[in-house]
Structure 1
């Protein structure tokens, strides 16, 4: 195992915050077996809880990192929480380009743009979109008839009640989708969550 690669990953999660509990919570709740992570950079934590993950990123740092796939797989095998062998794949491309992959159970969207829209065709009907609203991805999903809001996540706890209180602007103002897409920035709603869970319904 190339320890430099593992140190790079550990330094990265120390910088961005470790999302392991977030991924574990979602994987356990919805029995996730396959996932894609567009705009993943080098966050390989999902593979500790999900047997098959495809990471997608065209950033040169991510491309270089995933060239050490054998070391990454060895690290995951030592730290994963499932019995089957880990299947880890990497696509060094723009996730807005067509993805020639099988449909998956989960799309992970974390601070990487409109992932839920771009990769929607790769999600199974009934599959889950895990996203935040840093760039407005959750807002777009909320106004997309293909998705249904089923829960929010706060402090790695899934909450399924009172979902109608989310995505409401002050004074009942409507969401300007065109402006949202242009600015690529989440809106300040009266009630917000750290992450949102949507189910693909059609």
Structure 2
């Protein structure tokens, strides 16, 4: 895999999943994030474009193969990053539910990769941020986790909304959320109002 292949593979993947760089940049700036953990990242290296220290974790063969050329990835990042100083990238080719030999981080990113927040919150600093969606129910579990405080959602045009948060995670007919069902099915419930991404702060 040469430099062109690295660039092309990432760009093709980015175009497939959508460019999340602005999302990550918004959160990084708002919460002064320097060090991020991205379990189940696949090859979404957009965090490194806006945050200087990133740890990617994925046991998918395609991701492991991609990150073998980490020097070429760093070269791409250094030419496209939006901060001063060098980028620091670590890749762990393993299941994120296994022990990770890392220092605490400021931010954990959870995107379509299971219960990331629950499995890795021990690596998040107190006061740190969990950015997650609810595709597999990760946001729902965080909402009912005493270790987290619900701080906001990402609205349209990548804006953080921190008002009227009691409108979220409400089921039709004011039904009670069945957390056991969420855990079993790995799917977020259909709430009255939902968001693409949710923000939680670790409080304990």
Q: Given the two structures, how large is their TM-score scaled by the length of structure 2? A: 0.98
* Aligned residue pair count: 202
d(CA) in 2 for partners of 1:84 and 1:171? 52
2:169 alignment partner in structure 1? 167
2: CA distance between counterparts of 1:82 and 1:176? Answer: 43
Q: Report the equivalent of 2:31.
A: 30
- 1:116 Cα deviation from its structure 2 partner: 0.3
Question: How is 1:8-87 mapped onto 2 (pairs within 5 angstroms)?
Answer: 8-87=9-88
- Residue 111 of structure 1: how far off its partner (Å): 0.4
For the residues of structure 1 that align with 2:92 and 2:86, how far apart are their CA atoms?
Answer: 20
CA–CA distance in 1 between the matches of 2:23 and 2:105? 18
The answer for the alignment partner of 2:148 in structure 1 is 147
What are the ranges of 5 or more consecutive residues in structure 1 without an aligned counterpart? none
What residue is the counterpart of 1:177 in the other structure?
Answer: 179
Distance in 2 (CA, whole Å) between partners of 1:98 and 1:117 is 13
CA distance in 1 between partners of 2:112 and 2:154 (Å):
16
Report how far residue 77 of structure 1 moved.
0.4
Distance in 2, matches of 1:18 and 1:82, equals 18
- Runs (5+) with no aligned partner, structure 2: none
Deviations 1:132-169 (A, max 9, x none): 00000000000000000001002311001000110000
Q: Distance in 1 between matches of 2:108 and 2:118?
A: 10
Deviation, structure 1 residue 78: 0.7
Equivalent in the alignment of 2:90? 89
- Give 1:17 shift: 0.7
CA distance in 1, matches of 2:66, 2:155: 30
Measure how far apart 1:5 and its partner are: 1.1
Runs of 4+ in 1 over 3 A off after TM superposition: none
Query: 1:198 maps to what in 2?
Result: 200
Deviation at 1:99, TM superposition (A): 1.1
Q: Secondary structure of the equivalent of 1:196?
A: strand
